[in-house]
Amino acid sequence: MKLSAFTIVDAYPPGVNGRRERYGEVLELAEGCEAAGLAALWIAEHHFHAGGTCPSPAVLLAAVGMRTMRLRLGVLVSVLPFHNPVEVAEQYAMVDQLVRGRFNFGAGSGYIPLEMEGFGVDPATKREKFDGALATVLAAWHGEEIRVEGPHGGTVRLNVRPRQSPHPPIWVAVQRREAIPFVARRGTNIALVPYATVQTIQELGEEIREFRRHLPSGVTAEVAVALHLYAGPDPGEARAALQRYLDSRLATQSSFYQDKVKRDPQHAHASAIEASGFALFGSAEEVATRLEAFRKVGVDEILGIFDFGGLPLAHVLGSVRALGPLVR
């Protein structure tokens, strides 16, 4: 099981540790991940709210690529309904060239109403837009001619294609269980965020088994799972930071997490997320031991959310350094 880092690049609440240079912190996080032997660094795309302050992961990934040599670098996710798919294909093909074939592509359809409104996307059409956009991105990366819709549209072919052949590895992020079979049938890897959707590790295992049952014959695919992680001497600090983070997710109308809290209000509390096993705080040995439960249910890659809710960067990097050698 691989250990990676996943940053939402959330803006910390006012008054927490003063003004933070979040993009610079992500660069330092990337260097720390590489030094500690982590597999990858993934960056989320978000818009218009403090819950995520990286509207252009391609820009930040290119910068990270210049500070690392081995670490794989991913977007999780590129929100395809918000963008022209030809432009997405171009930008991330260029990223893959700049980072010398270390790029991972995660795609999703979006889930925050404010972001949908900001890009004029009708939630009822987002899945159709996602399917069409992903097909276009893949066709463009394969070197096919792409038909541009509209009264003045024609056909184009990318003049910059990914370094990886036939294209970078693909993950699709899923938060609705009923979408899992559809993703599996594509034969792509899958990314899951259990704190926002499921109740227990056992339920997560059921989702993973369902995913593998629906993969095409002979196809293998990876399962990546996001967890909040802290390995250090002050778990209480991490619990307080997680509570700030959860409060921010509710405030930004994170729809799947809001629905989970409506079904069971206790999941608005950090203690409930920790009790469910989707936030692991303690010594490095304690956290590494508890991560074994995820290996047992079929997880291939842990996406460690290390920098959340105002944790000082030194403590974030301390967790990365402590866990990196223990999780392989």
For 215-242, the pLDDT digits (tens) are 999 999 999 999 999 999 999 999 999 9
- With 0-12 / 13-18 / 19 or more C-beta atoms within 10 angstroms meaning exposed / middle / buried, residue 319 is buried
Give CA separation, 153 vs 145, 146, 147, 156, 157, in Å: 13, 10, 7, 9, 13
Q: What is the mean pLDDT of the chain?
A: 93
- d(Cα 313, Cα 22) in Å, to the nearest integer? 10
Say what the pTM is: 0.95
Residue 17: is its pLDDT beyond 60? no
Residue 280: is its pLDDT beyond 60? yes
Q: What is the pLDDT of residue 14?
A: 55
Q: pLDDT-derived band of residue 19, with 50, 70 and 90 as boundaries?
A: low
Inter-residue long-range contacts of 15-23, CB under 8 Å, 24+ positions, other chains counted = 16/244, 16/309, 16/310, 17/310, 17/312, 22/53, 23/54, 23/60, 23/63
Q: What is the pLDDT of residue 195?
A: 86
Q: What is the pLDDT of residue 255?
A: 66
Q: What does the chain come to in residues? A: 328
- d(Cα 52, Cα 115) in Å, to the nearest integer? 11
H helices, E strands: number in the chain: 12, 11
- d(Cα 170, Cα 259) in Å, to the nearest integer? 28
Span 2-326 CATH architecture: Alpha-Beta Barrel (3.20)
Contact (CB, 8 A) for 59 and 22 = no
For 150-206, the pLDDT digits (tens) are 888 889 999 999 999 999 999 999 988 999 999 999 999 999 999 888 999 999 999
Give the residue from 197, 176, 173 showing the smallest Cα distance to 257: 197
Q: Indicate the domain borders of the chain.
A: 2-326
Q: If DSSP codes are grouped into helix, strand and coil, which group holds residue 304? A: strand
Q: What percent of the chain has pLDDT above 70?
A: 96
